[in-house]
Structure 1
Amino acid sequence: MTNDNGSADGHPEQVPESLRTLAEYLERALDSATSIVMMRPADGVCIVYLGDPAGLREDLKQIGTIANSLANDMLESTFSGANQLQISGQIYRFTRSFTQVDNMAAVIFSTE
């Protein structure tokens, strides 16, 4: 699936904060050759990790927290399965999936 953040006349539209944030995390995942793992253990907050969700939770590296509303916007802007998004002129290809880490639901963005 493809999403393009440009208008029909080729001029870029303003990129939503959720997609700018996702692009930053995808860049970090690419640099680390790993996945982004997002979990919501507390009300109003989503914790973002880098690492292998199939491994131990202790091995995940926390890299940030974002508001649930921002996480929801990321989910609304992407699809379960293969994605291709153009964000600020850069094309990102990744897979979004779901799993459980220590009995907690997790969203995975994998660039592999």
Structure 2
Amino acid sequence: MNTSSPDPLDIATEAASALSEYLELSLDKGKSLILVLSQGESSKVYLGDPGEPDADWTSYATIPNTIVRALLDATRSGFNQLVIAGQAYRFARTFAQVDEHGAVVFTPA
């Protein structure tokens, strides 16, 4: 057993916690959560309107791609409804292009 590899359950828990935090922020600000994917070790999280130029978005965080993969595994394209720590979240997950990167957009529903 490789003790240096992260526990998938811990990663899933961390991803759920991050998603609930980002969705709450998205709801509070009335903006979409935009996750710009990277081939590196981490991806960028923004708040904004995916129809506006990315220069108008607010940079929020950089998260490890292990968490990104867990977020994508826990959600699907289209309408989603998840309960995280007893709180229900409804959102749509869509895709966008940002410069030369793909992006996943979470919009509260």
User: Mapping of 1:55-66 within 5 angstroms?
Assistant: 55-66=52-63
**Count of aligned positions:** 99
Name the structure 2 match of 1:75. 72
Name the structure 1 match of 2:81. 84
- Equivalent of 2:25, from 20, 28, 39? 28
* Mapped partners of 2:93, 2:46: distance in 1: 15
Aligned partner letter, 2:102: A
- Shift of the alpha carbon at 1:42? 5.5
TM-score by length of 1: 0.83
Q: Which runs of 5 or more structure 2 residues have no equivalent in the other structure?
A: 1-9
Listed one character per residue, the Cα deviations across residues 87-106 of structure 1 (whole Å, up to 9, x for unaligned) are 00000000001011223211
Tell whether the 8 Å contact from 2:37 to 2:104 is kept in structure 1 after alignment: no
* Mapped partners of 1:68, 1:77: distance in 2: 14
Larger fraction in helix: 2
Which of 1 and 2 has higher RCO (CA within 8 Å, sep 6+)?
Answer: 1
Aligned partner letter, 1:46: S
Name the structure 2 match of 1:99. 96
Aligned partner letter, 2:97: Q
* Mapped partners of 1:42, 1:82: distance in 2: 26
| Structure 1 counterpart SS, 2:37 | strand
* Mapped partners of 1:102, 1:47: distance in 2: 13
Name the structure 2 match of 1:39. 36
Q: Which runs of 5 or more structure 1 residues have no equivalent in the other structure?
A: 1-13
Q: CA RMSD in A?
A: 1.5
Residue identity (%): 40
TM-score by length of 2: 0.85
